Amino acid sequence: MYRLLRLLLLVISGFTTVGLSACQKELPAPELTTASLLEGRWELIQTSGGIAGRTMPADSTQKKEIMFEPNGQVQFLLNGAAATSTTFTLTQALAHNTNRTETFVAYGAPATTLRQYLAEVSTTTLVISDDNPDGFSATYQRVPFDRCGTR
């Protein structure tokens, strides 16, 4: 009886180990996950920070947008027209502001000395923050995509 119980426990343990290892999947790199969330068009809704730490709504007379494309291109738009177009890269690094590993975004080549990280990326909100104590953060809202070609 003891042998049978021991054999049964050994078999169950083996199935559990095999079952759990089969369920484990390799997670994508944070940069890849973030890049897919970034894809699309984002409208600036507010900025905050600086020495005074003020929060200000975006200027309604100058509609500023960023459009991240899946091919690594980014466009900066002003009132719906492309103002600048370049490439972007995402890297993981330690942020001075948070003392944690963050996803940094760099535009163009060579990258500028301004260090900006993605403080928040979701399906609806994007926050890009300067990595210095009196820097600014820009909050964007995703512009919904209309399948008919209009926004």
Reduced to 3 states (helix: H, G, I; strand: E, B; else coil), residue 116 is strand
Q: What is the secondary structure of 127-142 as a DSSP string?
A: EEEESSTT-EEEEEEE
Lookup result for tokens 């709504």: 57
Domain assignment present for 22:
no
Per-residue pLDDT tens, the chain, 151 aa: give them: 545 444 444 445 544 444 444 444 454 455 556 788 999 999 999 999 988 889 999 999 999 999 999 999 999 999 999 999 999 999 999 999 899 999 999 988 765 567 899 999 999 999 999 999 889 999 999 998 765 555 5
Integer Rg of the chain from CA: 23
Direct distance between the N- and C-terminal alpha carbons of the chain, in angstroms, rounded to an integer: 72
DSSP β-ladder status, 40-49 and 81-94:
unpaired
pLDDT at 61: 95
- Using alpha carbons, select from 111, 43, 37 the residue that is nearest to residue 76: 43
Closest Cα to residue 142, out of 81, 66, 69?
Answer: 66
Please report the pLDDT score of residue 113 as a whole number: 65
Residue 48 sits in a domain whose CATH number is 2.40.128.280
Domain that holds residue 88: 30-142
**21 inside domain:** no
Q: What is the pLDDT of residue 134?
A: 87
What pLDDT score was predicted for residue 124?
95
Domain count, the chain: 1
The whole-angstrom separation of Cα 94 and Cα 101 is: 4
The answer to whether the pTM exceeds 0.75 is: no
**Do the domain assignments include residue 34?**
yes
